[in-house]
Amino acid sequence: MSNYKPYFDLGSLIAKYLRNELTAQEKNELEQWLQSDERNQELFRKLIDEANINNELELLSATNKDKAWKNIVKKTGFKSAEDKPKITGRLLGYAAAIAVLLALGITLSKYKKGDEQKVLAHQQKDLLPGGSKAVLTLADGSQIILDDTKNGKIASQRNVIINKTQSGKVIYDVTASSQADQVPVVAQLVAMNTLTTPRGGQYEVVLPDGTRVWLNAASSLKYPTAFTGNERKVELTGEAYFEVSKNALKPFFVKTATQTVTVLGTHFNINSYADEAVTKTTLLEGSVKVMSSTSGATIKLKPGEQSINTINAINVKEGADLDEAVSWKNGKFLFRNTELRPIMRQLSRWYDVDVEYQGNVAQKHYRGRISRDVPVSEIFEILKTSGINFTINGRKIIVKS
C-alpha cells in the first residue's frame, strides 16, 4: 500500500471532488496540482469522465470487471469485494478513479510536484467550479461553516433541531409542538437565522414549514426558526429558487432590496443581485404577486411569466425562458443570446474570481449550454469562438480582445 500512497491521496481528492465533499484546504491542494502542469488538467478531465473510467476498468483486467474490482480492493481497501454489487453509477466512477490512478502510477510519476523538469515553462492555469458551501448564522450570532461540519445535528434552538444531510442540505426539524396558533404573537420570541453562500458556493435549506429554498452563489436568506402568527416572511439577497409549502392561512413573503413577492404556495426563481441592473422573478408554477419597493406598483404573474423590476418600472415578460432562469439550480450554464458581461458575472460568482477587462472588449452575444461542474477553461472554449481572449492570473480572469 505504501508504494501507492501518493496516488491514493490524489485519488482521494478526486473522489471527494466527484462527491462534492472537498474542504477548502483540499480544494486548494487539488487546484495547486491542476495548476502545476497542463497535463495534470488533461488527466483530471479523463479521470472525472465516467465513461472513460469504466473503459479503464475494463483494460485493467482484459474485460473482466469483477477481477478489476478485486484489484481496487486489494490496492486501496476502498470497499470490500462483497459490496461491489451495491456500487453503481457515480459511486463506481469515483472508486474506479482511485484504481485508475494506481494503475497509471508510472505515468503519474512524470507529473509529481517535485519533477520540475516536466513542468511546462508556460503553464495553463485553471479554476475549479464551486460546490456546496455556506455559513449558517444563528440567532446568538454564532456561525457554523457548513462545508466543514459533519452531517447530522449541528444545532438546536428552542423547540427546533437543525440537521445537515449528506446531500448538502440544512433541515429545520420542529421537535415539539410550539402551539404557535394558540399563543399570542407578542408573547413569542422568534429566533432569526441567516444562511449565506460565498462566491463559489450554493446550498439548499428546508425551512420549518417545509418550504425548500436553493441559494445560488454570493447570496443570503434570512428567516425565522418558526413561522408564528398569520404570515411567513423571509429576506433574500442574491438569487434563490423557492418551492413554497402551501398554506392558505399563512401567505409567504420574500423581501429583497427592490421588491416583495407574495405567494401561498408555488415554485419560482428570484434573481436580485446588487450588481445586476434589474431584479427578475420567474414563475414556474402557481401564482405570485410582485410589488416594487420604489414605485409601489404591483403585478401578478402567471406560470411562464417573468417580472422585470427596475428603479422606475416593473414589467411582465410573457413566455419567459424558464430553462435559462433555473439553469443554475439544475447544474448548468445556459446562454441564449447572452452578452459577455452578464456571463462573466455568473462566472465570477461561481468560480470565486474577479474579472478585469482590458482594451475595448466588444459586447458580443453567446449561445451555449455547459455543466457548472467543469473547470472554467471549458467555459472559455465557448466564449473564445468570438475572438475574445481569457487569461487567469491567480483569482482574476483578464478579458481582452
Among 62-76, 84-98, 141-155, 269-283, the least confident range: 84-98
pLDDT tens readout for residues 114-132: 333 333 333 346 899 999 9
Local confidence band at 211 (pLDDT 50, 70, 90 cut-offs)? very high
Cβ contacts of 242 within 8 Å, gap of 6 or more: 211, 212, 213, 254, 263, 266, 267, 268, 269, 270
pLDDT over 80 at 313, yes or no: yes
Q: Where are the domains of the chain?
A: 2-118, 131-324, 331-400
Buried b (16+ CB within 10 A) or exposed e, 284-306: bebbbbbbbeeeeeebebebebb
Amino acid identity, position 294:
T
Compute the radius of gyration of the chain from its Cα atoms.
24
pLDDT of residue 279: 96
pLDDT over 60 at 95, yes or no: no
pLDDT tens readout for residues 249-260: 999 999 999 999
Average pLDDT estimate for 65-91 = 47
Report the length, in residues, of the chain: 401
CATH number of 331-400: 3.55.50.30
Share of the chain above pLDDT 90, in %: 49
The CATH number corresponding to 131-324 among 2.40.37.10, 2.60.120.1440, 1.10.10.10, 3.40.30.10 equals: 2.60.120.1440
Based on DSSP, count helices (H) and strands (E) in the chain, helices before strands. Answer: 10, 24
Parallel, antiparallel or unpaired: strands 152-157 and 160-165? antiparallel
pLDDT tens readout for residues 153-200: 999 887 889 999 988 899 998 864 444 443 443 334 678 999 999 999
pTM of the model: 0.69
Between 87 and 239, where is the model more confident?
A: 239
Cβ contacts of 233 within 8 Å, gap of 6 or more: 223, 224, 252, 253, 255
- Give, to the nearest 10 degrees, the angle between helix 38-47 and helix 50-60: 80
Common-topology check for domains 131-324 and 331-400 = no
Between 26 and 99, where is the model more confident?
A: 26
Are the beta carbons of 237 and 201 closer than 8 angstroms? no
Among 169-178, 204-213, 373-382, the least confident range: 169-178
Are the beta carbons of 232 and 253 closer than 8 angstroms? yes
Between 349 and 173, where is the model more confident?
A: 349
- CB-based contacts of 267-271 (< 8 A; 24+ apart in sequence): 267/241, 267/242, 267/243, 268/241, 268/242, 268/301, 269/239, 269/240, 269/241, 269/242, 269/325, 269/326, 269/329, 270/236, 270/239, 270/240, 270/242, 271/239, 271/325
pLDDT over 90 at 62, yes or no: no
Average pLDDT estimate for 200-210 = 95
